[in-house]
Amino acid sequence: MIGCPCPVCASADKRDKRLRSSILVESAYTKFVVDTTPDFRYQMLRVQNTHLDAVLFTHPHKDHTAGLDDTRVYNFFSHKAMDVYANALTEEAIKREFAYAFADKKYPGIPEINLITIDETPFNIGDVPVTPIQVWHYKMPVYGYRFGKFTYITDANKIDEIQKEKIRGSEILVVNALRKQDHISHFTLQQAIDLVEELEIPKAYFTHISHQLGLHEEINSILPAYICLAYDGLVVSI
């Protein structure tokens, strides 16, 4: 956190250097990101990513959408608009926050966005099957997603039973675990552990981690063997 001198923020362990949460999904033929954080540009530069087929949004909060403008470089490389998948609530926010990209008279070089409205109906991005999972971020309905045997959920503190059934059978679950203390809109560490155990997920990673959770090495050491803290740059294959 900016200006914070706590042991996590001052740590020399690169796994404690936590940018905003996002993932890059890659198959044999398709590559897309889930959310474009304010750190999106640096995240793409860091992995030297030169191609992107689409953006898939979880919800409209700025820590998950603010980097959308920087997708313009992929317009230049691909010579086409970026497919952006979002539910109606997120789509409304995108049109409001990036109004210049949807103006009748567009300034040269602005991002070209092809908005695709989604709901809970499964769909495909290229060759990747996508199953939306509606979870609760306090009172805001947000989407997690299942891609085959891999499920990604961020910014949740409650999941209805009918939605949990969409997660069951996943081989890998990535889910938020903000801190140890209760939070109004995020799972705590123990709540995230309980969810993994309830759904009998064989491997889980915790993301959207606050500096309040503690040092990566220390927290990892007390977790069950099948649960790990995620960290920036982690690569998971399935």
Reported as a single tens digit per residue, the pLDDT across 161-176 is 999 999 999 999 999 9
**CB hemisphere CA count around 161 (13 angstroms):** 0
Residue 205 near residue 228 (C-beta atoms within 8 A): yes
pLDDT at 217: 97
CATH topology of domain 129-229: Metallo-beta-lactamase; Chain A (3.60.15)
Once rounded to an integer, what is the mean pLDDT over residues 149-168? 98
Specify the pTM: 0.96
Of 206, 215, 135, nearest to 177 by C-alpha is 206
Is the pLDDT at 108 greater than 90, yes or no?
no
Beta strand ranges found along the chain (DSSP E): 23-26, 31-34, 54-56, 82-86, 113-117, 123-125, 128-137, 140-147, 150-153, 172-176, 203-207, 227-229
Residues of the chain with CATH 3.60.15.10: 22-119, 129-229
Work out the number of other CB atoms within 10 angstroms of the CB of residue 21.
22
Tokens representing residue 165 in the block: 């059934």
> Bridge partners of 84?
55, 115
What's the mean per-residue pLDDT of the chain?
A: 97
Residue 74, classed as helix, strand or coil, is helix
Residue 82 in contact with residue 113, Cβ under 8 Å? Answer: yes
**Record: fold of 22-119:** Metallo-beta-lactamase; Chain A (3.60.15)
Identify the three-state secondary structure at position 220: helix
